[in-house]
Structure formats: C-alpha cells, structure tokens
A and B are shown apart, each in its own frame.
Chain A
C-alpha cells in the first residue's frame, strides 16, 4: 500500500511564507483597531462622500477671477522659496563640512550633527509658528522657517556625500603642499558638486511646496490667500489656486531635472 506519507514530500516551488502572512493579518487587525479608536465608521464615510460631492460641485468650475491676488501670492511664495534655499545652502555648506566625520575631529562633528538633528526633527510649520511669534506675520517668518528646514536636509546629505568621497584626490592635493582651504576647494568640492547641486535643486522643489503652506500660520505666500478663500467657502477660488500650485511645481521639477543633467 502506498500512502501519501511514504512518498518523499514534494518540495513546493514557492513555499508559503507564514511569517509574512501572520504579519499582514496583524497589520490588518491593527488598522481595524486604529480606525475604531479614531471613530472611523462606514456611516461617516458615506456622509463624507455626500459632503465630498457637494464640495467638488462647488469647486467646479475653478474661478480665476481674482487672478491678481493669486499672482501676488504665488510670486511671494517663489520669493520665499528662492531666498530660503539660497541662505539655506550658504549655511548648510559649512555645517555639512563640519559634520563630515572623515575630515573633522569628533568634538566638531558631534555638535554639528546635533544641530542637524534639531533642524530636521521639527516640521517647517512648527518652526514657522515660532518665527511668526518672534518676528511677526509676513514673508520673513516663512523664509526663516524654510531656512531651518533647508539646513537640516542639505547638510545631512552633504555630510554623507563628503564621507563617501575618495581620499586619494585629497591626498594628492595635500601632497602638493596645499593649505586646508585649497584642499577643500580642489580636492573635496569637485567630487561632491554634482550631488550637491542635486540636493539643492531637490530642496528648492521642497521649499516651493512648503512655501505654499507657511501662509496658513501667517508666514506669507499663497497659503494665506488659499486659507482665506477656504474660510470664506470660496471653493472655486481654492481649486484655481491649487491648479496654479500644481502647475508651478511641475515647471520647477522640469527646471531642476535640467539643472541636474547639466551638472552631472
């Protein structure tokens, strides 16, 4: 008698992964629990869909009638993004150098890294709130908040890029008797410049996105216009502003892709 147990067990080509399955079940259970905790229910979703339909109906067609307001807001957002990116880069360069562990001693890198962690951990909106309190409403508060965000992002990636460079070129420059600054400019900078341009253009995109939002807490830019339109229930103006924001960011992405190609 040949039963199934006598035969050698067939090896499955694709064995089931029980750990992953249990993990997915646990994740699904968590989602259900969290939704219950947050008071999410089908009923609320249904009511929300009705609201959503009315909301969308009021959004169309987009109303570009107040275009002067939209243009001035967008221009201010652009100004905030450009200025914040510039000063962010200027301040991130030295911070990044100081945080690179292959060029600097530990007692220098440690405080620099702490500063970077501090700049990165707060969302730009929270930083903007603090600056609005310190220097009042207006574009400057937005600029300062985005400078802090830029320092955190660029110097972290810049320090990592410097830590990955080849030290051979640095040694070659040093062997010619160059001073510390010359070593940086001739040995380190050419190796990291393409990546640095990459981070900077990426940060410009990111600052542009965030500059559309700092206005909600009083930091200037299109966000203030958007928030006012929202509070007045002028949802058609809100849609017009959103369309302009998306278009602006698409253009900015095309430009930064071009810049990255040029500096490759």
Chain B
C-alpha cells in the first residue's frame, strides 16, 4: 500500500492492528484534555475569587448551589440507569427484546434458572461455543408451564411472565458492590439473572404424565389451602428444546401448543353437578325428586335426559326400573342425570346464572403476577339461556350442552370444597403470597358437599378407587361430546377429613370417569401423600 498523503497514512493506521489500542488511548486522552481544561478554569476562577471583595456572596451562592444540586440530581438519576441499570428488571428486559446495539451488555446477561419446589432445574442457560442456549432438562414435561424463551419464537409461560426477574439482577445476586464496581470499570457486565422457583413438583408432574401415557388430557394437582399448583400436566406437548416453525404453522395434529389444563375448554359432564349441588344446598333445597327410568324432558319435542344406568341396562338387554325418589346426597352419589336436570329447571335461570357467577365462570384468572398476556387460567364458559329455554337449562345442569370448563378451574372448585368454600387463586410462582380468589360457597355448604363427595368414592360412582391407604373424596364425570367417545373426568380431594390436596383429571375420549380419570387421580394422590409424609 502506497502512503502518500497524511490522510492515507491515517487510513493505514486505522486499518492496522494497533488501532483498537490507539482508539482507547485517544479516548482517554480526550477525557484528559477535557479535565485539564476544567482544571485550568477552576484554578483561574479560584484565583479570581481569592481577591479581596470578590468572595462568593449569598446572592450568587444560593442560585449556584441550587443549579449545582439540580445537575447533581440529574446525574445521580442518570447513573441509576446508566451504571446500575441492571437493577431495573423491566429495563433489562426491554433492552434484551428491543435494543439492537450488539455491544449492549444486557444481551450477555445469563438468564436465571427455573426450579421446581425442591430445587430441581426445569430450565437453565448453558454456554456452548460462546453462545448461550436455553436448556429444558425435562423436555416436553413442563413445556406449557415453564414455557420457552427463544430468540426466534419469543417467550411463553413462566419464561415470558417472569422475564424481568429472570433477566434482572438484584444487589444480592452480585457478589458484592465491589463486584459491581469492577464490572463498571472493566465494562464486563455479565450479571446473572435471578432464579425463579415454581410451586410445581417435578416428580409428581412426571408421574402424572406417565399415568396419562399416550392418552390426550390434562392433570392438575394443587393445595387447597394456598393455591400452590403441584402438577399442571398436559398431553400432548412439544419439546421446548427443539422448537421449529412447523410447530407454529397452522393447527398441528393434537394441538400440542394448547395448554389443556388452563385453556382447554371441555364439557364438564357430571362433575359440574357439584356446582349445582352447592347452589341447591344454598337455596335450601331439602326434598326429593322422582327419577323414573324414562328420564326427564321439558317438552315432548326433545329427547328425554336419562340416567347412565338406563343405557347400561339397555345394552345388557335388561330393564331398569329407575331410581325412584332421590334426595340430593343419593343423587350426587349415583350421579343421576334425571335428578339434576330437574333440579336445575326447578332452581331456575337466575339461580343457575347466580351459581355461575359465584363460581366465577367466564373469567380469566392470572396464574403469574404482573402481565396477563401469558398463562392465564380460563375458568370456562357458561351459556346464557333465553327465558323459555328450559331444555338448555336442564342440559347445562348436568354439565352438557353449551357448558364448558377447563381442568384447572374444576380443580379450583374441588379445592374450594376442600377449603371450606374459599377458593384460593392457583399460583405457580413460589415467591407469590397466597391470595383468595372467591368464596364459592358457604362453609356449611362446603362441609356437607365434602361429606357427599366422600360418599361418592366409598359407595357411589367412584367406589373403584376407594382404598384403605387414603380417604379420597371426589366426583366422576363422563362428558358426551360431538368428537367421539366421552371425556373422562375426575375431580376431588384428599384426605377427606382434612384435605391437603385437590385434583382434577381429564382424559380426552377416555370413556367413563370412573374407569379412566379416577385411577389416575388416585395414583397421583397416593404418591403425593406419600411424598408429603416422607418430607
């Protein structure tokens, strides 16, 4: 390269390997020059002030002090962003998602880990070849709850909801303020984000998935007293370690992206009778209703609603004489459709809507603090009927027709029965204090309902899962649906006398609630109790 002009010489210098070092020297020299100028001005002014009669006087000192204080204040506030900005989690999160400056240290922050209640790692960042990857050791087991954080596909689940915490550090995370000073001086800001502890129990979650096997469905296990979710399992799921555009393009088979436990809307079937029973008890209903084998209908134009015993008998070629007169307890224990269809119509539209309101249907309950965009729990949908639509009301009263609910909300309802009628808000973050969601029913109602639900398992439709190890109370459900075999439901709690766990299990197209969902609930509750007693 021929060097002829000073400018070319300069260009060659910049291109040489010495430039990065030279640049830093120039940078410091620039600062030094500015400081020298300031120093010269200072000595000059200080010298001028020393002359007699030139002392700084109040009229000059006061405004000067005010302006200096204002500048100092602005600079200090600026420092709280510029120097210690990593203590502002929202700010760090903003920079990570919206700042395109590659040299911004926020992009090199090591994201915090996500842990289960016992410290099992559910998500962590690992560095390979200078790049940071997010690793999910359990793969698809926690795909919906933990979610994913991916530069291409964004973030969902806890990764999205607690983004700020995972990225942001607190002074305690740094070894000391000295460490912060070192990072500032050397520009080597590599803070580690804070870990996030979930209420989930990895062992139980894995068991729930194992119990579901290849069947589609959802399992929710939570503690009635404080709303802590121990299991929030979905099948099918996706592997957050291997995200691909195909996953997001159009409706995939089995919709693995859908969080069935919190967003899956299913007809609740017979488990919805718990809601109606609570409404009946609260309305003072104490009588019996005649439940003939011929079923019940509101008009001869509509097919009668019958009990499942009728269909079983018909299948076997026997004749069934009907339940006769049933009271509420027996009706719930036997899960009589005819009884509850009549009961719903008797209670009327307003009572039905009131129960829906009290049990907080048609809501979105937030599972994570802060933003409501990710991981809300949808409670379900309760239809509004025309005044004269009695058949719709009768159908809805047995959890069919246009009534829809999510497994998560039905678990909350079971938990409310177990918790003297008070529903606690389901929560996933261990750090979040428990909060009430609503009083779903009076305390006495809950106590009576709990007794009936216990009886369902000892003598009724759920007797298949009754055993000496654990006193389970609950309600089975078999929900007819237009897409195939009935959905199998079980909601309940244990131990019946002093409940510490509440559960909801849904097996899509699993058939009878007692045959598919209830055993899963039993096995899970047994294991959970065993773990609880062991600890």
- Report whether chain A binds chain B: no
- B: which residues have CB within 8 A of A? none
